[in-house]
Structure 1
């Protein structure tokens, strides 16, 4: 007979090999604990099948443990995914909050800029309104110049200028101001004197009617009366004076005064 090298491995050897293989696939110590009876059975139970040994129990327990490991791994994956989703949601919420704050700040900045621009425009409009000057009679012209000589005037010369105007023509305040005189003015007839914001005064004489009263504020271009021929006159016209004070004798050149304020006379 051939040498022992061609003989099949004994059952004990095969069992040992199986146990070793299972131990490689399972956690350390599990197979060792359940495989021990298999080795012990090599004597009396040598003819029992593998199902009668501890190997079957080792395989079953190995499968259970593998299932538990898989379940734990799946749970960890779910937990990791949920944590990542929560973190992503938090990042998104923070981004949206930052964007909302940015938009709110920008809207606030624009509103503040618009408010300041409106205030500036209002101040500019008020400044222009107060600083605007117009001719006392629209579309008229000077018919008698300043300082013209004539015996008609007590001073010997004209203390203002005459604007051509028929009776009933609208007479306007040349600028914003306050009425300091409104009524009969002797040789001036019905007259109005207005103090303006720059401290100067203007006078409007020979009016046929007066539309304002003392203490009233007026704006540039506002009608204060109608032209006429009251007082010391030879015909209807508007006598206009510019003064440094409300009284007679403080007159200055009315044409130069109006031109200095942008009025084309």
Structure 2
């Protein structure tokens, strides 16, 4: 009777469990459900870690792309700036050459083949003036006047005369010295090339060479002097001398 009662009690408990949950879950089934839940949790954790890594990687790639784009934009801006500078320099050099050509043409029309018709030796802005004081020169001052022009600008004889020097002049670089009918001399220094030789007669406006940066210079220009003698140290104000010849400066 005792065993029957125990079986009845177990059967009643099973029936009650079935009625409450709709199914009886044995101990083995409960263990399986726990294992599956644990595996799912681990998978979810791995998936979460992977998603975080992918998000970090995407963020890093985005930052790298932004940096690369900024670097590219800076390079483009730098290249455009350099192109503008080159274009400005080329335009300035072209304008200087055109001014020199117009200047030479006017001089040729008024003075070619004559002993008169004085003119500026080159078309360009005046840089270092006459008698500027500096230890750069052995006399302590600038013995001529500088015309700031790019290398290759045509240089013309300021007046008619005879070439007494044409070649290397030490700190003057390649230079030409011309003796004029009034006994004065004009000098043209730092030339890149010469177009005349010693003993040659030249007229006002005749091209005698091309400007340059030879000798003792800090940049391209024409050094122009007026002298009482062909040698260094006999200089006078070159612009005043040209004005005395009727040149408008």
TM-score, normalised via structure 2 length? 0.54
Which runs of structure 2 are paired with 1:20-59 in the superposition (5 Å)? none
Q: Distance in 2 between matches of 1:144 and 1:264?
A: 19
1:131, distance to aligned residue in structure 2 (A)? 2.1
In structure 2, the residue matched to 1:77 is none
1:127, distance to aligned residue in structure 2 (A)? 11
Q: Per-residue CA shift, 1:116-139, capped at 9, x if unaligned?
A: xxxxxxxxx99992122000003x
Q: Distance in 2 between matches of 1:171 and 1:150?
A: 26
Q: 1:137 aligns with which of 122, 128, 150?
A: 122
In structure 2, the residue matched to 1:249 is 233
Compared CA separation, residues 153 and 219, structure 1 to 2 (3 A): same
SS of the residue corresponding to residue 242 of structure 2 reads helix
SS of the residue corresponding to residue 115 of structure 2 reads helix
CA contact (8 A) 2:196 2:208 kept: yes
Number of corresponding residues: 140
Counterpart check, 1:166 vs 2:150: yes
1:198, distance to aligned residue in structure 2 (A)? 1.3
1:255, distance to aligned residue in structure 2 (A)? 0.7
Q: Distance in 1 between matches of 2:199 and 2:244?
A: 26
Compared CA separation, residues 127 and 188, structure 1 to 2 (3 A): closer
Counterpart check, 1:186 vs 2:170: yes
SS of the residue corresponding to residue 193 of structure 1 reads strand
1:197, distance to aligned residue in structure 2 (A)? 1.2
Q: Distance in 1 between matches of 2:111 and 2:224?
A: 26
In structure 1, the residue matched to 2:137 is 153
SS of the residue corresponding to residue 127 of structure 2 reads strand
Q: Distance in 2 between matches of 1:259 and 1:175?
A: 12
TM-score, normalised via structure 1 length? 0.51
Q: State the structure with more CA Rg.
A: 1
Stretches of structure 1 lacking an aligned partner (at least 5 in a row): 1-124
Report runs of 4+ in structure 1 exceeding 6 Å deviation: 125-128
Q: Distance in 2 between matches of 1:185 and 1:231?
A: 8
Q: Per-residue CA shift, 1:172-202, capped at 9, x if unaligned?
A: 0001000000000000000000001111100
Q: Per-residue CA shift, 1:209-260, capped at 9, x if unaligned?
A: 0110000000000000000000000000000000011011110000100111
Q: Distance in 2 between matches of 1:131 and 1:198?
A: 12
1:152, distance to aligned residue in structure 2 (A)? 1.5
CA RMSD of aligned residues (A): 1.8
